[in-house]
Amino acid sequence: MKALIIIIILGVGGYFGYTQYINPDEIVKVTGNIQVSQRSNYNIKAPQVSGPLYVATVHGTAQNTTSKTLKNVIIKYKIAGQNTSAMIFDMAPGQQVEFITNSIKTKGKNPPFSLEQVHAEKMN
């Protein structure tokens, strides 16, 4: 009987550790879309030798899904293999905020992009 209780306690402890440290709940829900615009990439004094140059950013929304205020929310994306990010300084519980990442120069008109990481600090 003691062995069964110990196994149950270890199972509950393992589950708690998994949910709190290894796979924490999503505290910021992020949705974003890429926006690409073409830029002129030539120097008036020199002929154009390369293809068109594009500038890409991710525009989106972030929502605080917790009941606590968050600060220093950093949203990291990867566009065409290059890292970019956006920062939101404060988010109230349940608040939804629009963001725009820093721009990335790319030669592709439709570069691949992916959400890499979201980091936030909880305030008491």
Residues of the chain below pLDDT 70: 12-25, 40-50, 124
Cα 59–Cα 54–Cα 118 angle in degrees, nearest 5:
30
The reported pLDDT for the residue numbered 1 is 75
At 122 the pLDDT is 84
How crowded is the C-beta side of 45, counted as CA atoms within 13 Å? 0
**Measured distance CA(33)–CA(42) in Å, rounded:** 28
Digit-coded pLDDT (tens) for 18-38: 555 544 557 899 999 999 998
Q: How far apart are CA 82 and CA 78, in angstroms?
A: 5
Ordered by where they begin, the domains of the chain are 26-41+50-122 (2.60.40.10)
